Amino acid sequence: MADREVDFLLIGGGAAGAGCAKALREEGADGSILLVGREADPPYERPPLSKEYLAGKADRDAATIVDAGWWEENDVELATRVSVMKLDPEARTAKLSTKEEVAFGKALLATGANVRRLRVDGSDLDGIHYLRAFGNADAIREDAGASERVVLIGGSYIGCELAATLTAIGHQCSILMLEDVTLAHHFGDEVGHWIMGNLRDRGVEIHGGDELDRFEGADGHVTRVVSKGGLELAAGCVVLGTGVVPDVMVARQAGIELGEGGGIACSSRLETSVPGIYAAGDVAEFESPLHGRRAKVEHFEVAVAHGRTAALNMLGRDVAHEVVPYFWSDLADWATIEYVGVGLGEPVIRGSIDEGSFSVFYLDGDRVVGGLAVSRSGDIEHATRLISGRATPDRAALADESTDLASL
Return residues touching ligand FAD (CB under 6 A). Answer: 11-17, 36-39, 46-47, 49-50, 83-84, 110-113, 131-132, 158, 247, 250, 281-282, 298-301, 303, 327-329
Strand partners, 216: 224
Least CB distance from residue 349 to ligand FAD, whole Å?
23
**Which residue, 101 or 180, has its beta carbon nearer to ligand FAD?**
101
CA distance 402 to 400: 5
Q: How far is CA 107 from CA 47, 74, 194, in A?
A: 26, 19, 44
Closest alpha carbon to 17 in 264, 277, 304, 247: 304
For ligand FAD, give the closer residue by CB, 122 or 286.
Answer: 286
In the complex, least distance from residue 324 CB atom to ligand FAD, rounded to whole angstroms: 13
CB of 39 or CB of 379, closer to ligand FAD: 39
Q: 3-state secondary structure string, 307-376?
A: HHHHHHHHCCCCCCCCCCCEEEEEECCCEEEEEEECCCCEEEEEEECCCCEEEEEEEECCEEEEEEEECC
Is there a contact between 105 and 92 (Cβ–Cβ < 8 Å)?
yes
Are residues 211 and 227 in contact, defined by beta-carbon separation less than 8 angstroms? Answer: yes
**Rounded to the nearest whole angstrom, what is the least distance from the CB of residue 371 to ligand FAD in the complex?**
15
Residues 6+ apart with CB under 8 A from 306: 16, 19, 270, 280, 281, 284, 286, 321
Q: Least distance in Å: CB of 108 to ligand FAD?
A: 10
Give min distance, CB of 226 to ligand FAD, in A. 26
Q: Which is nearer to ligand FAD, 37 or 259 (CB)?
A: 37
Report the residue number, 253 or 357, with the smaller CB distance to ligand FAD: 253
- In terms of CB distance, is 282 or 379 closer to ligand FAD? 282
To ligand FAD, the closest distance from the beta carbon of 303 in angstroms equals: 4
